[in-house]
Structure 1
Amino acid sequence: MTTRRQFFGLAGAAAAGAAVSAGAVVALDKDQPKPTVARVIDPYGDHQPGISSPAPKHAELVAFTLRKDADKAALGRLMRLWSSDIVALGSGRPAPGDTAPELAIANVALTTTVGFGPRVFTLTGNKPGGLDDLPVMKHDRLDPAWSGGDLLVMVGPDDAVSVVHAVRRLVADAKSFATPLWRQTGFWNGTGSDGQPVTGRNLFGQVDGTGNPAVGTPEFESTVWSSDGPDWFRGGTTLVVRRIRMNLDTWDELTRSEQERAVGRKLSNGAPLTGAAEHDELDLEAQDSDGRPVIAENAHARLSHPTENDGRRIFRKGLNYVHDSGAARESGLIFLSHQADVAGQFLPLLMRLDAADALNEWTTTIGSAVFALPPGFQAGGWLGEKLLG
């Protein structure tokens, strides 16, 4: 039975379509030589929009544990509620039942991405192939506080207050169905000093994500979106979340050339050590005057390159994080990897990096989780409808 709360939520979701822009709205300020960009990202479409969007300036990921009495019908009710929230909050309107409606603001590029963990498929069947928990790697030191999960929401706008507000609403609406298991917050700067988009840097100072397939290209489509498997999952993708602790103190003890040799790229602009610009191709055959590979055999850029991995690719994003406990501070990277097939694309790459990556000396993975991200939805529909309807 549809409750009054659910009815108004779905009605709001359908009505919001007319108010949501599909792209960027440019507002010209006569006092400024450069335009300012205000964005409302369309929540509707064949895919969840947060997947192909740039890494957000601010983000929070929340994993949930389903209640013991949760079943397929309950999951369907939750997805209807979350879908209405996603549409309302993304357009800057209060979600139905919002207790702090003034915090819902538009033009902050807010996206909310939802994923299903392995337990969902014990209730529903139709699990995508290769969606099992990753095996523990040699260099992993996994903490249950950052691992696993039955459901995931990731909220990512350009405004930190909007993150807190949106997550607050989503957690409140999930209360009857699931409880938070872990929360991870992060940040990213994908804008250069000239206001133009850039790849962004992790806390090692490394330009991080250079080799990604370009959004909208055939290479991106084949890397990210599922085209086979269960019918409900076609147009969806998988997500691996890895929380990687970085030892910044020992990293800072290295010379700049030692840091660059471990990465295989220049820290100044992300160019490969064999090139001049960020997107120059790696020359993996180049040697220095002593006959050594210019890009070392254990350099991260070499080991992760598609030519070293039988052509396998992923679409990666990163979020820097800091976690304070009293006077102590932990710093690191929330590594997000999208691919059509975890077992076929991501796992072989992970195993290769775990075996030999030079960066293993300064990084430790302390959290790991995998999720299936369903396709998007259209006005009047809802996330996961083909699986749960």
Structure 2
Amino acid sequence: MTAREWDRRSFLRGGAVALGGASVAVAGRAIWDVTRTDEAPPADPVDPVDPTAAGSATVPFHGPHQAGVVTTPPAWATFVALDLRDGVDRGALVRLLRIWTDDIARLTAGRAGLADTEPELAAVPASLTVTLGFGPRVFTAAGLEEQRPPWLAPLPAFGVDRLEDAWCGGDLLLQVCADDPVTVSHAVRLLTKDARTFVAPRWVQRGFRRSPGTTPAGTTMRNLMGQVDGTRNLVPGQDDDLIWQTDGDPAWLVGGTAMIVRRIATDLDTWDQLDRVGRELVIGRTLDTGAPLTGTFEHDEPDLAARDTLGFPVIDTAAHIRRARTDDPTQRFLRRGYNYDDPPPPGRSTDSGLVFVTFQRDPLHQFVPIQQRLDEADLLNRWTTPIGSAVFAVPPGCAEGEILGHTLLEG
């Protein structure tokens, strides 16, 4: 008997068994229908699943902190930097923030804004959060320069930077995140439309992560280079003293934080030419599990002293995870990055990277030293280039009846 004949006969035999089983099942159902006419068939023990649960989910807007900082990152994000128009002063800023606060409170609850011309699009909140940040010029315009935190300024220059004006600076920032891109787009349009007399757009960056339900809760995101991105992250509730401003310097920022937005371009075209072993050596982690090269699981502590059989460090002296580490436990920050993948310019096949977002109490102490170490010697610098950078002060949250930024502008 040939292999083809065997496969055919096996299939036919299996099919006959299956059909026979189906006949028995049908016959059994018919007998049940005849003998049990007083009751419905027993239901399958399957828990009902609401297919719209992700769309109807909401994140509370009011509270001591703004949402969108320690909130679990949704799948989609848009970052909009805006510049104040000439003549905008403290009073105008209060009027703008009164409009925005009301709109954000409505949108995050699944309700349309007061001037919403597409109210149907507001009906799906999808865990929408909107986070407001102040750039340096807000304090000048409001006549409150003495209230500007000392760290609220452009970051020091790093040798790897190739910054482009198109992705730098900004007087105000709106971080708009949700698990649905239509929800994000609608919120951005409404908020920017309502602000036209006060601000002009400076730059817009869009990013994405895995959609909800596609990976287990708590899974570390992956960037488009295939790496786990953000393993050694701060833990909200455990590391709050490194995230939130807790003392009175300046007093208006208590309950707020510092936000850094860096646009990191990745050269995927040349990264594709590097084999898997080389990629893992660059990072110091395995690609499949994210475990350090000296460990088994993602969150294992790397053994930076380990040597191979030839006496070389298992984790290279310039590997990314080695350069990103420090002996100072306070030199850490909360990262909340998003991938971007834009249409490439002529002559290139990709324009991809990371909208690298961090939150920390003091960027000069927590962020800058780490970036200086990476700038000095990091194998990953061959494939990643910072092309955008901006720093913002994120004011605390607000209660009902208050506006965002009230501690600064109405204090």
| TM superposition score normalised by structure 1 | 0.88
1:250 to 264, 270, 276: 270
SS at match of 1:211: coil
Match of 2:320 in 1: 300
2:310 to 290, 310, 320: 290
Specify the code of the residue in structure 1 equivalent to 2:150: G
Match of 1:387 in 2: 408
User: Is 1:147 matched up with 2:147?
Assistant: no
When you count strand as a share of all residues, which structure comes out higher? 1
Specify the code of the residue in structure 2 equivalent to 1:245: A
1:69 to 76, 87, 109: 87
Distance 2:171 2:258 in 1: 14
Distance 2:301 2:52 in 1: 33
Distance 2:215 2:384 in 1: 32
User: Is 1:91 matched up with 2:109?
Assistant: yes
1:160 to 160, 181, 187: 181
Distance 2:52 2:342 in 1: 35
Deviations 1:350-387 (A, max 9, x none): 11111111110001111110000000111111111011
Match of 1:232 in 2: 252
Aligned residues: 359
Match of 1:41 in 2: 59
CA contact (8 A) 2:242 2:330 kept: no
Distance 1:338 1:48 in 2: 12
Superposition map of 1:40-189 within 5 A: 40-123=58-141, 124-125=144-145, 126-189=147-210
SS at match of 1:372: strand
Specify the code of the residue in structure 1 equivalent to 2:293: L
Specify the code of the residue in structure 1 equivalent to 2:139: F
Q: Percent identity?
A: 46
Deviations 1:254-278 (A, max 9, x none): 1111111111111101111111111
SS at match of 1:104: helix
2:336 to 302, 308, 317: 317
Deviates more, 1:309-318 or 1:251-260: 309-318
Deviations 1:17-56 (A, max 9, x none): xxxxxxxxxxxx8444999555210001111111001222
Match of 1:24 in 2: none
Distance 1:222 1:213 in 2: 10
Distance 2:211 2:73 in 1: 7
Distance 1:246 1:194 in 2: 24
Deviations 1:69-102 (A, max 9, x none): 1111111111111111110000110011101001
| TM superposition score normalised by structure 2 | 0.83
CA contact (8 A) 1:90 1:106 kept: no
Distance 2:287 2:211 in 1: 16
User: Is 1:198 matched up with 2:216?
Assistant: no
Match of 1:277 in 2: 297
Specify the code of the residue in structure 1 equivalent to 2:82: F
Match of 1:334 in 2: 355
Distance 2:267 2:60 in 1: 39
Alignment RMSD (CA, Å): 2.0
Match of 2:281 in 1: 261
The CA deviation at 1:287 is 1.5
Gaps of 5+ in 2: 1-45
Distance 1:346 1:190 in 2: 29
Specify the code of the residue in structure 2 equivalent to 1:226: Q
Distance 1:211 1:39 in 2: 28
Q: 1:272 to 1:87 in 2, by over 3 A?
A: same
Distance 1:286 1:246 in 2: 30
Specify the code of the residue in structure 1 equivalent to 2:273: E
Specify the code of the residue in structure 2 equivalent to 1:68: D
SS at match of 2:288: coil
CA contact (8 A) 1:190 1:200 kept: no
Deviates more, 1:186-195 or 1:254-263: 186-195
Distance 2:202 2:272 in 1: 34
Match of 1:3 in 2: none
The CA deviation at 1:306 is 3.6
Larger radius of gyration: 2
Q: 1:294 to 1:192 in 2, by over 3 A?
A: farther
- Deviation above 6 Å: which 4+ runs of structure 1? none
Deviations 1:133-155 (A, max 9, x none): 11221111111011100000010
SS at match of 1:49: coil
Gaps of 5+ in 1: 1-28
Distance 1:36 1:67 in 2: 41
Distance 1:364 1:84 in 2: 39
Specify the code of the residue in structure 1 equivalent to 2:282: A
Distance 2:74 2:52 in 1: 20
Q: 1:279 to 1:36 in 2, by over 3 A?
A: farther
Specify the code of the residue in structure 2 equivalent to 1:297: T
